[in-house]
Amino acid sequence: MKMSTKKLQWLMFGWFFVFPFLPVPGYWITIGNYIGLYSIVALGLVLLTGIGGLTSFGQAAFVGLGAYTTAYLSTTLGWSPWVGLGAGLVVSGLAAALIGSVTVRLSGHFLPLATIAWGLSLYYLFGTIEFLGKYDGLSGIPALSVFGIDLSSPRVMYGVIWFCLGGCLMLVLNLLNSRPGRAIRALAKGKTMPEAMGIHTAQYKILIFVLAALMASLSGWLYAHLQRSVSATPFGLHMGIEYLFMAVVGGVGHVWGAILGAVVMTGLKSQLQDWLPLLLGSNGNFEIVVFGVMIVLLLLWSRDGLWPWVAGVWAKFHPPEPEVVAPAIAPEGYSDLPRRTRPQAGALILEVNEARKQFGGLVAVKDMAFEIRAGEVVGLIGPNGAGKSTMFNLVTGVLPATSGEIRFCGERIDQLDSRRIVRMGIGRSFQHVHLIPHLSVLENVAMGAHLRGRSSPLAAALRLDRHEEARLLFLAAEQIRRVGLEEHMHTPAGSLALGQQRILEIARALCTDPTLLLLDEPAAGLRLKEKEALADLIRQLKGEGMSVLLVEHDMDFVMGLTDRLVVMEFGSKIAEGLPAEIQNNEAVLAAYLGGVE
């Protein structure tokens, strides 16, 4: 459940700004500095791991790239630290883009493994390269200064670090609350759903990988000029693992969890490093035992980390309000949103011609042929295992056809991927609903409006996208009203009943402005009332001129609803016609009730 805890958040953040002005010992300021530095890295990990679903143990290496770049430029070449900042960001960004493009297409666990190897190899590299001072590192790094004002005192650096952290937080929060942000949130749900909304998942994965690396690099730059020297050790794999632990402890799915995790881990570490050697009677990094055990226990107890717990306690006293709200009246420019021209009623829109799909020796779809005309509701039915789902996947581009052709409004689509197909005007729902459960209905539906906007992640982070954002949210809210879910606009999607979730998916598909709507077993698992509501919605959409292809198993459901039925068995069409004809068709009877004599 998503809670608005704005006050708590800024209270927490504000405290860190008041903190250095209090008469606290210098040691506390040092700890505060490290918390800020670590939080910046952990924030990147929250974006990458908690929200985007990609895990990295190699963030310390990116911190190292940022630190070493500025260290080298400002000592050996004597350039300004500000050049070092830019150069560090470029180096880390390029490295991340390279690694990202190599690994994001592979399944989830290859990326973290690659980051382990990558983290180690960069660590050895830092320790080996002559001009980086080998394992001694580089020292004599100049302090930061702006317009001749020296920023070297720890208390002043504290301000700089927390200013940077505040900036990163703002940019990340802005980004997440936008069109590209919703695309990033959709990534955690696998590939099929976001791609069906027109989201280029590989690009967005590389984007968040680069963003996390940039934040790490910024932290490294600050570190180098705070510490005034760099060596390889703080950029090793163990630090990379600790960064991830911070994010997990704080709550890897929550932006503010990054700071909470950094506070907890840094505080704990400094205490343990004081106490454990006394307790055990020898020196060493024994705190890693505590960290390791703590992380295992935490994951056993609650996989969401500490933040949801803190926020939950807070929410008891300060009831949450919805964070994302659609404008009440159509915002300026709403009517200018591009809309597809509707084909004339009765015009041929989908033609399936001898489509075939083979998996090895198995022919799942055998030379299927049928068509859909504008304004028609067509049912594709058949017993389990008849090949309906495969046929559905061929039309939606999840699978390419082995042979034959499928045309939509005259253009061939049988080899296109789902991202291109949704662009042409085919919207779809899923048999097993694909929603982001903790986001509101509005935010989930707005994912469907991805292709209706064009604002870039940068524009979103800088809030230059607000006009477009208002239009997209209004569009989403319109679709929610269209399907009759307006009461639940701000309810988390996960708490709706299954029938409502199916309807939510239809609203999301409507946001893509489809001319043809494909529904995959929309009635499966629904109760009678829910089925009736769904049937009413489909009739209403038909009345508005929508064409619908329903893939269904439930004959009862499609009977009164469709204009025409296509019946499949063993991958082939066995009958086609009006529902009443199909009901009395011998072949269909045999297929459904069994023809074994």
Q: Site residues for other proteins, window 170-209 (CB under 8 A)?
A: 190-192, 202
Contact flag: residue 578 with other proteins (CB under 8 A): no
To other proteins, the closest distance from the beta carbon of 229 in angstroms equals 22
- Contact between 589 and other proteins by CB under 8 A: the answer reads yes
User: Which residues inside 397-456 make contact with other proteins, applying CB under 8 A?
Assistant: none
> Does 535 help bind other proteins (rule: CB under 8 A)?
no
Rounded CA separation 321/318 (Å): 9
Smaller CB separation from other proteins, 5 or 231: 231
Structure tokens at 160: 């700089």
Give the SS3 label for residue 492: strand
Q: How many CB atoms lie within 10 A of CB 282?
A: 8
DSSP state of 549: E
The radius of gyration computed from the CA coordinates of the chain, to the nearest angstrom, equals 28
Run of H or E including 532: helix 528-543
Binding part of the chain for other proteins, among 32-40, 149-157, 286-294, 311-319 by CB under 8 A, reads 286-294
136-137-139 Cα angle (round to 5): 110
Q: Which stretch binds other proteins (CB under 8 A): 59-67, 111-119, 372-380, 420-428?
A: 111-119
Please report whether residue 94 would count as binding other proteins according to CB under 8 A. Answer: no
Contacts of other proteins in 536-565 (CB under 8 A): 553-559
The residue within the footprint of other proteins, chosen from 10, 17, 27, 110 (CB under 8 A), is 110
Residues 503-522 that bind other proteins (CB under 8 A): 521
For strands 426-428 and 516-520, give the pairing: parallel
- Cβ–Cβ under 8 Å, residues 111 and 101: no
Of residues 24 and 293, the one with the C-beta less far from other proteins: 293
Range list of β-strands (E), 135-271:
138-139, 145-146, 149-150, 229-230
Residues 6+ apart with CB under 8 A from 285: none
Nearer to other proteins, 326 or 561 (CB): 561
Nearer to other proteins, 423 or 527 (CB): 527
What are the φ and ψ backbone dihedral angles of 524, each rounded to 5 degrees?
-60, 130
Of 11, 280, 345, 458, the residue at the interface with other proteins (CB under 8 A) is 280
**Binder to other proteins among 106, 170, 345, 462 (CB under 8 A)?**
106
The Cα–Cα gap between 241 and 28 comes to 24
Query: What is the Cα–Cα distance from 155 to 20, expressed in whole angstroms?
Result: 6
Among 340, 454, 467, 527, binds other proteins (CB under 8 A): 527
Which of the ranges 169-177, 280-288, 368-376, 449-457 carries the binding residues for other proteins, by CB under 8 A?
A: 280-288
Q: How far apart are CA 425 and CA 61, in angstroms?
A: 44
Q: Determine if 291 is a binding residue for other proteins (CB under 8 A).
A: yes
Task: Say how far apart CA 190 and CA 197 lie, in whole Å.
Answer: 13
Q: Which two tokens stand for residue 144?
A: 């930061």
Instruction: Give the three-state DSSP class for 380.
Output: strand
595 near other proteins (CB under 8 A): yes
Question: Which CB sits closer to other proteins, 73 or 244?
Answer: 244
**Per rule CB under 8 A, is residue 299 in the interface with other proteins?**
yes
Q: Are 209 and 99 in contact (CB under 8 A)?
A: yes
Nearer to other proteins, 75 or 418 (CB): 418
C-beta of 587: minimal distance to other proteins in Å? 12
Pick from 384, 410, 411, 543: which binds other proteins (CB under 8 A)?
384
Task: Please work out the total of residues on this chain that contact other proteins, with binding judged by CB under 8 A.
Answer: 79
How crowded is residue 11: how many other Cβ atoms within 10 Å of its Cβ? 11
Of residues 216-245, which lie at the interface with other proteins (CB under 8 A)? Answer: 241, 244-245
Give the pair of three-digit tokens for residue 531: 């089925």
Nearer to other proteins, 180 or 571 (CB): 571
Q: Which of 214, 222, 234, 216 is nearest to 71 (CA)?
A: 222
Nearer to other proteins, 14 or 595 (CB): 595
Neighbours of 217 (CB within 10 A): 32
- Assess 529 for contact with other proteins (CB under 8 A): no
For residue 124, the minimal CB distance to other proteins (Å) is 4
| CB-nearer residue toward other proteins: 108 or 333 | 108
| Residues from 132 through 151 that contact other proteins (CB under 8 A) | none
What whole-number distance in Å separates Cα of residue 252 and Cα of residue 307? 9
The CB-of-12 to other proteins minimum distance in angstroms stands at 25
Closest approach of Cβ 501 to other proteins, in Å? 9
Told to check if 271 binds other proteins by CB under 8 A, we report no
- Assess 286 for contact with other proteins (CB under 8 A): yes
Contact between residue 512 and residue 448 where contact means Cβ atoms under 8 Å apart: yes
**335-374 binders of other proteins (CB under 8 A):** none
292 interacts with other proteins by CB under 8 A: yes
* Residue from the set 31, 116, 470, 535 that interacts with other proteins by CB under 8 A: 116
**Residue 450 DSSP class:** G
Q: In 3D, which of 322, 396, 387 has the Cα closest to residue 357?
A: 387
Round to the nearest angstrom and report the end-to-end CA distance of the chain: 55
Q: How far apart are CA 394 and CA 308, in angstroms?
A: 41
Write out the binding residues for other proteins, residues 459-498 only, by CB under 8 A. Answer: 494-495, 497-498
State the nearest-atom distance from the C-beta of 118 to other proteins, in Å. 7
SS3 353: strand
Q: Which is nearer to other proteins, 328 or 528 (CB)?
A: 528
| Cα angle, residue 442 at apex, residues 438 and 445 outer, rounded to 5° | 95
Are β-strands 138-139 and 145-146 bridged in parallel, bridged antiparallel, or unpaired? unpaired
Residue 55 sits in the site that holds other proteins (CB under 8 A) = yes
**Stretch near other proteins under the rule CB under 8 A, chosen from 84-92, 118-126, 323-331, 466-474:** 118-126
Contact status: 112 vs other proteins (CB under 8 A): yes
Minimum Å distance from CB 510 to other proteins?
Answer: 24
Neighbours of 524 (CB within 10 A): 15
Judge contact between 364 and 384, C-beta under 8 A: no
Distance between CA atoms of 246 and 262, rounded to whole angstroms?
5
Which residue from 94, 153, 267, 303 is in contact with other proteins, where contact means CB under 8 A?
303
CB of 96 to other proteins, least distance (A): 13
Rule CB under 8 A: which of 306-325 touch other proteins?
Answer: none
The minimum distance between CB 418 and other proteins, in angstroms, equals 12
